[in-house]
């Protein structure tokens, strides 16, 4: 991949790879893996450490977990409709106070 850079006076400076690879190739001392960028024959690589690879796997597994427990929501909704859902005012007040305390760091 090449990028044209305009020099002083508007003349173009040809892009060249004079800085070498962006990262080392092969496995690093931390057990990482390398990935070559693109099919353009560019020597640029990306090296992931073991920790980064594990973090990437964790992110992928978290994407499969639903954010909302839909079964619990449906059960609560049904209890409200049927009039079975009861609110404990003391517990609600206690939770509001705890939330405000944590929010304001007191």
| 48 vs 56: CA distance, rounded Å | 10
- Flag whether 106 is in a domain: yes
Number of structural domains the chain divides into: 2
d(C-alpha 97, C-alpha 104), whole Å: 11
pLDDT reported for residue 105: 81
Could you tell me if residue 3 is inside a domain?
A: no
More confident residue, 93 or 9: 93
What is the pTM assigned to this prediction?
0.36
pLDDT per residue over 40-75, tens digit each?
A: 666 787 777 888 889 999 999 998 888 899 999 999
Q: Are 59 and 88 part of one and the same domain?
A: no
Residue 1 lies in a domain: no
Phi, psi of 53 (to 5 degrees): -65, -40
Tell me if 46 sits within 8 A of 24, measured CB to CB. Answer: no
Segments forming the whole domain that contains residue 30? 11-65
Residues 6+ away with beta carbon under 8 Å from 75: none
Do 23 and 48 lie in one domain? The reply is: yes
What span, in angstroms and rounded, lies between the C-alpha atoms of 4 and 11?
10
Distance CA 86, CA 56 (A): 42
């Amino acid at each position: 991949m090449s990028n044209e850079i305009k020099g002083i006076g508007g003349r173009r400076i040809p892009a060249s790879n004079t800085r070498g690879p962006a990262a080392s190739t092969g496995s690093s001392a931390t057990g990482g893996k390398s990935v070559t960028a693109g099919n353009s024959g560019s020597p640029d690589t990306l090296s992931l450490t073991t920790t980064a690879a594990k973090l990437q796997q964790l992110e992928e597994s978290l994407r499969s977990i639903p954010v909302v427990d839909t079964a619990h929501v449906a059960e609560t909704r049904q209890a409200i409709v049927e009039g079975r859902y009861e609110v404990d005012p003391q517990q609600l007040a206690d939770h509001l106070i705890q939330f405000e305390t944590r929010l304001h760091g007191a």
